[in-house]
Amino acid sequence: MLTDREVVSTLEMLKNEHLDVRAITLGLSLMDCVSDDLGRLTAKILNKITHYAENLVKTCDRVGEKYGIPVVNKRIAVSPMSALAGPFSPEQMVRAAMVLDRAGREVGVDFVGGFSALVEKGFSKGDLALIKSIPQALAETGRVCSSVNVASSRDGINMDAVGLMGRIVKETARLTAGQEGLGCAKLVTFANIPPDMPFMAGAYLGLGEPDAVINVGVSGPGVVKKAVDRIMAETPRPNFDQISETIKRTAYKVTRVGELMGREVAARLDLPFGVVDLSLAPTPQVGDSVGEIFQSMGLKAIGVPGSTAVLALLNDAVKKGGAFASSHVGGLSGAFIPVSEDLGIGQAAENGYLNIEKLEALTSVCSVGLDMVSVPGDTSAATISALIADEMAIGMINHKTTAVRIIPVPGKKAGEKVHYGGLLGWAKVMDVADYAEAGDFIALGGRIPAPIHSLKN
């Protein structure tokens, strides 16, 4: 028999606290599609995706209905395209991206990730061709997401790649200027990219992964916020130990939902179940914001002094609760702080509590990095590269994933507002210290060596 409390608590999480399964992502290896003939490669890709993902959306919807919990996004993450389309030119890479887009449209998913390259130590011919094709590929497709890993804790930072990505980000913004540079929302530059992440825009399927696998991304900032609000309303007020414990328990509950539903989807599709990625992934709705959790803990807004400590507590407690709830936790698993996608963070930036420098500090303890940050359209490519370099350094030294998803909004100045629409939200264009000397710095090129892995005192 269920208790009143169990039923009421579950209903509250669903109805008022925005509990959902944010993404079920089919990871699909395309390595068996490799060919030196572009037509044959794309035909095999189309065939494999449509075969494996034919029932993905329908199955997710049915499982969502069974448990009364919606699966908001159904996605596909494929092998890094640069590895399987190595012989091709940038123009041919664009055609490969268009086939990914078509395959995604045919099976009804909203994004296909994996138009990606891993270049932390250097470029292959395919890597370079893919990176150069990114602006055109993202301008000509709607569903394709791209990621480039330019750094790792084992290999250091490929500063040539960092320099190149600054120019690629600028060009992507230019080619999608009619949509406020929206192409950049589908492009992420990484350090230590996880191979099993279900969240976009960075999802791809790593080379050590199975041929096909179901990974699940669960969210729940609203559930965490309400749990923190409830404990904060108690007398006497809780201390940080109790707040951390509350977040852990809440993360456990949310992760269990993802585990339950992900396993059922995988079983129905006769595929192995991979990981649950429990990430507090906000949306631009009231009550579904990571930023609002900071206010629940007594801060004026995310960005004021104390914010980094709160985020560290939040990120760690989420990981601990999630790890206990799932047999396999993977992906990013922590708290996202995407500026435009989070109402609380967006408002903090608009009201002057959060600037890009503080945002960077926060990324040293969050699960990703500079995410959905809008900067002036005339920010130089070198300064964007320098921002990427800083973020990669944080990831490399701290053995964590960091990423940059930055949008130099064409024609917009600092302080202006930009509306991306839907889940991408709105944001104030943030001021960036953009100096010509950044060009000299980035032009140095080469690699920043990997950090020492001993003498950790």
Partner 1 sequence: MRKVLVTIISHDRPGIIYQVSRALADNRVTVVEVSQTTLMGEFAGLFSCVMPAPADLDEFSRVLGRALEGTGLAHWVTDASGNGRSPDADHGRHEPYVVTVRGRDRPDIIPEFSGAMAGFDVNIDNLRAVARPPEAEGGDGGHQVLMFFELSVPQAVNQGAFRQALNLIAEDLGMEMSLQHRDVFEAIHRI
- Positions touching partner 1 (CB under 8 A) are 1-2, 4, 6-16, 65-69, 253, 256-257, 259-260
Nearer to partner 1 among residue 1 and residue 455 (C-beta): 1
Between 203 and 218, CB nearer to partner 1: 218
Question: Do residues 127 and 77 touch, judged by C-beta distance below 8 A?
Answer: no
End-to-end alpha-carbon separation of the chain, Å?
Answer: 53
Give me the sign of the Cα torsion angle 162, 164, 168, 174: positive
454: its two tokens: 């001993």
Question: Which of 6, 32 has the CB closer to partner 1?
Answer: 6
State in angstroms the smallest separation of the CB of 4 from partner 1. 5
Judging by beta carbons within 10 Å of its beta carbon (0-12, 13-18, 19+), is residue 298 exposed, middle or buried?
A: exposed
Nearer to partner 1, 123 or 324 (CB): 324
Helix 159-175 with 381-398: angle, nearest 10 deg = 130
Whole-number minimum distance, CB 282 to partner 1, in Å? Answer: 21
Which residue in 360, 366, 237, 219 sits closest to 297, CA to CA? 237
Task: Give the span between the Cα atoms of 381 and 379, in whole angstroms.
Answer: 7
Smallest distance, Å, CB 228 to partner 1?
Answer: 18
Concatenated DSSP letters of 14-59: HHTS---EEEEEEEE--GGG--SSHHHHHHHHHHHHHHHTTTHHHH
Question: 264 or 341, CB closer to partner 1?
Answer: 264
CB of 2 to partner 1, least distance (A): 5
Which amino acid, one-letter code, is at 113? G
Kindly state the smallest distance separating residue 12's Cβ from partner 1, in Å.
8
Closest CB 10 distance from partner 1, rounded Å? 5
- What minimum distance in Å lies between the beta carbon of 95 and partner 1? 41
Q: How far is the CB of 67 from partner 1 (least distance, A)?
A: 4
Q: Where are the alpha helices (DSSP H) in 328-452?
A: 343-350, 356-362, 381-398, 437-443
CA dist., res. 321 & res. 246, Å (int): 9
DSSP assignments along 292-325, one per residue: HHHHHTT-SSBTBTTHHHHHHHHHHHHHHHHHHH
For partner 1, the closer of residues 100 and 261 by Cβ is 261
Are residues 212 and 26 in contact, defined by beta-carbon separation less than 8 angstroms? yes
**Closer residue to partner 1 in complex, CB, 6/91:** 6
Phi, psi values for residue 398, rounded to 5°: -95, 10
Residue with Cβ nearer partner 1 (253 or 300) = 253
